[in-house]
């Protein structure tokens, strides 16, 4: 096999990023069909991509298409069912974050994947962002000594889709907006947290609380790692000013910063002694290379029979952090890490 043939499930924003990469930038990948519960959207996406087949369910694609892997970018609460169907059909799986909305769903996903013996990769693309990856390598090389603090900031300019306000479906704002930040902190720390604590408030979405009383739009998650550093996830949306994704890694012998609020491009200097530059406006632009490289890596892992990374265990850990963080929020106290690592 010299090419991995995909079916995309979920033709929303993230799904179309992966689809465009498969169609235009990854010769080792091939997109065979688009699946979306909204058949019209699936049809429009397939036309835009130059792909012949489109369906409203994965079942139809499994019956009619010859392919090797599924790229899942559907809503969080649909992940388990889709993964179970793909695994039963022996299709490899690349799945967008978060893996699932709770640990019970994650356990069922893990059992299905392990039973089928398929390759599985969770879409934590920041591990493939050139700047963040280089920072991680610098830390591992001891460039800044022992780790003291790992901070990841993740703020969106606008609110996500309304279904995300329901924790039963999405895992909540922490899971949807900051799953990447949590994974990044865990990845750099390289160990399990001893305890964690979540503070959250609602500053801009107060009307949302009428239907979802536990909704919050800004938050601060702290993690204290066993025999290791402190971790901080600073998140929120809508902030309006930019798509803001940055990391700061402090060590005993230095500090590393990754990411900027400002976008690339020209800076305008005016006679009134002011300067102007565009801010980052989209996660698609900020992490363009990360999205491309993570899918390339997944394809290589299948074609060369290697273990994909990040793994299902990495997805599982982030879901568990979110659950314990919400427990902390409800109790207004730090909580100890519970369960296996």
Query: Which pLDDT score, from 0 to 100, does residue 53 have?
Result: 98
The answer to whether position 341 is within a domain reads no
The answer to whether position 139 is within a domain reads yes
CATH code, domain carrying 243? 3.30.360.10
pLDDT tens digits for 86-139? Answer: 999 999 999 999 999 999 999 999 999 999 999 999 999 999 999 999 999 999
User: Are the C-beta atoms of 325 and 223 separated by less than 8 Å?
Assistant: no
Q: Are residues 271 and 296 in the same domain?
A: no
Query: Which pLDDT score, from 0 to 100, does residue 145 have?
Result: 98
Q: Are residues 100 and 162 in the same domain?
A: no
Q: Mean of the per-residue pLDDT values for the chain? A: 97
Give how far Cα 47 sits from Cα of 162, 177, 211, Å: 28, 30, 38
Q: Is the pLDDT of residue 338 over 90?
A: no
Quote the CA–CA distance of 61 and 67 in Å, as a whole number: 9
Q: Are residues 243 and 297 in the same domain?
A: no
User: Are the C-beta atoms of 116 and 90 separated by less than 8 Å?
Assistant: yes
pTM of this prediction?
A: 0.96
Supply the range of the domain harboring residue 15.
Answer: 4-126+290-311
Q: Write the DSSP symbol of residue 80.
A: H
Q: Are residues 136 and 178 in the same domain?
A: yes
């Amino acid at each position: 096999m010299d090419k991995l043939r995909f079916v995309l499930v979920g033709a929303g924003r993230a799904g179309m990023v992966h689809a465009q990469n498969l169609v235009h930038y990854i010769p080792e990948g091939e997109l065979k069909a688009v699946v979306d519960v909204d058949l019209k959207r699936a049809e429009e996406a397939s036309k835009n991509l130059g792909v012949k087949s489109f369906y409203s369910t994965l079942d139809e694609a499994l019956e009619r298409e010859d392919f090797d892997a599924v790229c899942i970018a559907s809503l969080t609460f649909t992940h388990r069912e889709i993964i179970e169907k793909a695994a039963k059909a022996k299709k490899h799986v690349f799945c967008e974050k978060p893996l699932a909305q709770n640990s019970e769903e994650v356990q069922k996903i893990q059992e299905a994947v392990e039973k089928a013996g398929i390759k599985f990769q969770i879409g934590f693309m920041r591990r493939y962002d050139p700047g963040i990856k280089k920072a991680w390598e610098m830390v591992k090389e001891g460039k800044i000594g022992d780790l003291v603090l790992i901070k990841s900031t993740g703020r969106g300019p606008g609110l996500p889709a309304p279904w995300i306000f329901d924790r039963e479906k999405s895992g909540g704002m922490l899971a949807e907006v900051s799953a990447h930040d949590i994974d990044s902190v865990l990845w750099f720390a390289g160990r399990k947290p001893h305890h964690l604590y979540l503070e959250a408030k609602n500053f801009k979405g107060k009307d949302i609380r009428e239907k979802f009383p536990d909704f919050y739009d800004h938050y601060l998650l702290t993690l204290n790692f066993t025999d290791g550093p402190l971790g901080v996830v600073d998140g929120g949306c809508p902030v309006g000013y930019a798509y803001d994704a940055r990391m700061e890694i402090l060590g005993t012998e230095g500090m590393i910063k990754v990411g900027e609020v400002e976008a690339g491009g020209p800076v305008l200097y005016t006679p009134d002694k002011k300067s102007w530059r565009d801010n980052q406006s989209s996660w698609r632009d900020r992490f363009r290379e990360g999205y491309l490289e993570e899918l390339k890596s997944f394809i290589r892992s299948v074609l060369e029979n290697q273990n994909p990374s990040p793994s299902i265990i990495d997805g599982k850990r982030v879901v568990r952090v979110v659950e314990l963080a919400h427990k902390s929020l409800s109790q207004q106290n730090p909580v100890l890490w519970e369960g296996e690592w």
